[in-house]
Amino acid sequence: MIYDREIATERSYLSQKIREFFNENDFLEVETPIMTPIPGMEPHLTPFESDFTDPYGQKTTLYLNTSPELQMKKLLGAGFGNIYNITKVFRNGEVSGGRHNPEFTMLEWYRVNASYKDLMEDCENLIIDLADSPTLNFGEHSIDISKPWDHFTVNELFQKYCNIDLEQNKDFETLKKTAKKHDYNANGCNNWDDLFYKIFLNEIEPTLGFNKPIFVYDYPSSQAALSKKKADNPFWAERFELYIAGNEIANAYGELIDSKEQRTRLQEEQALRKKLNKPVFHIDEEFLTSLESITVPCAGIALGIDRLFMVLLNKKTIEEVLLFPLSKMLNNLNN
């Protein structure tokens, strides 16, 4: 392995600038645990697990957090106001190919009395501040990061790139037929969301954010159990993703604060985990109670620090911005 001091220096500088940005904007930095007895319920994530043994030999399963989201919302419920957090998160099974490391650094921030669109502005201001230049060079691309950035709804992108109106293709069978007409195959897809993503990943994602960073917003509600559904059309939810140079950098929600609806949607995720043969976790009751004390609209966002550093430092793989990427540590074992 080589340990590049220059990368450590850049990371340290950027992390300090991120903290300065949020402190200057009156956010409170909070710390959340790495280990938790109840992990997030996201159906496709696999947390690492371990056992805590107390002095009497009593064991409790603990999970490495896949995201600090539940804890952050408990703090919102406790009236903390605008908060941010830079923490390690862990996702089992996610390695290879340069964009994933099973352990990575997440920046999350939450705004009270705000909508997910306010977070788009935060993203622009933060990244422009970190970049120190109106243009980002990434490989052979030159990305203009001056404001405003591009904004497209998911459905606008499907119409633009695939000539498919998702409003007319809301069930799996219909979408399959439409896909076939366009010569997109549904092989390996078990449901609407799989096929949605297969088309998105093949036809749309590889082109996103090479001229300007792009906010892709209003995702199908089936893919965002912790976000608020759109008031005028509940098929869509208040969620956006930020893409720069084909990289998914951040994921944001207009937060769902209705605890009854949240319970139903967590139960649906429990059912889906069961169907996928994944361990089913308890619903975090304290999380639901906390939502009841949130009385104003809130929005929250998770930004992958390592991927952002890739884009800012013009590195093609996540391994190049990490001092100890897991793939290299494993590779070293087999010398």
Interface residues with other proteins (CB under 8 A) are 1-6, 8-9, 42-45, 93-100, 187-189, 193-194, 197-198, 200-202, 205-206, 219, 223-224, 239, 241, 248, 251, 317, 319, 331-332, 335
CB nearer to other proteins: give 51 or 183: 183
| Residue 335 in tokens | 């010398």
CB nearer to other proteins: give 40 or 77: 40
Shortest distance in whole angstroms from residue 50 CB to other proteins: 22
Distance in angstroms (rounded) separating the CA atoms of residues 231 and 237 = 9
Return the closest-CA partner of residue 48 out of 67, 33, 61, 63: 63
CB nearer to other proteins: give 156 or 193: 193
Distance in angstroms (rounded) separating the CA atoms of residues 44 and 32 = 22
Shortest distance in whole angstroms from residue 96 CB to other proteins: 5
Shortest distance in whole angstroms from residue 332 CB to other proteins: 7
**Segment (H or E) for 125:** helix 116-131
Strand partners, 106: 87, 304
Query: Helix or strand or coil: residue 248?
Result: strand
Distance in angstroms (rounded) separating the CA atoms of residues 153 and 217 = 5
Dihedral class, residue 247 (left if φ above 0, else alpha if ψ from -120 to 50, else beta): beta
Shortest distance in whole angstroms from residue 3 CB to other proteins: 5
CB nearer to other proteins: give 124 or 241: 241
Shortest distance in whole angstroms from residue 54 CB to other proteins: 32
CB nearer to other proteins: give 62 or 106: 106
